[in-house]
Amino acid sequence: PYYNSFFKCSTPTPVLLAKKLAELAPKHVNQVIYGSSGSEANDTALRLVRHYWALEGRPEKNRIISRKSAYHGSTIAGTSLGGMEPMHKQLNGAVPNIVHVMMPYAYELA
């Protein structure tokens, strides 16, 4: 059983699993965020980073650096993060303030 935990909701099974993961993890790791896919995980990371800076009173600190030719998923945020221009054209409006930098060892681009 699983339910979106963004609004402080859960069910017993994920709570028990989070407790077990916390027991196994290093002491400073004290939170668990579940995801169903890599796309969802990347969307969540983007959302959390921007929300964090908004709570800190710095909503303008919202630029994300990602790599060209990277694949971060098929959701709108994941596709925006990925530096693949043909996929960006499909979006007709990507997530703003994502900057793409050259991938390491891009010999063909050097």
Residues of the domain holding 39: 35-109
Question: For residue 16, is it within any domain?
Answer: no
1 — pLDDT class (breaks 50, 70, 90): low
Residue 25 in any domain: the answer is: no
What integer pLDDT is reported at residue 6 of this predicted model? 65
Give the dihedral sign, CA 94/98/103/109: positive
* Whole-number pLDDT of residue 103: 78
Pick from 11, 68, 81: nearest CA to 41: 81
Q: Has residue 80 been placed in a domain?
A: yes
Residue 5 or 20, more confident: 20
- Torsion 41-77-66-52 (CA) sign: negative
Q: Which pLDDT tens digit goes with each residue over 7-59?
A: 777 888 888 998 999 899 999 988 888 777 888 889 989 999 999 999 999 99
Mean pLDDT rounded to a whole number for the chain: 85
Provide the domain count of the chain: 1
19 found inside a domain: no
Domain-located, residue 50: yes
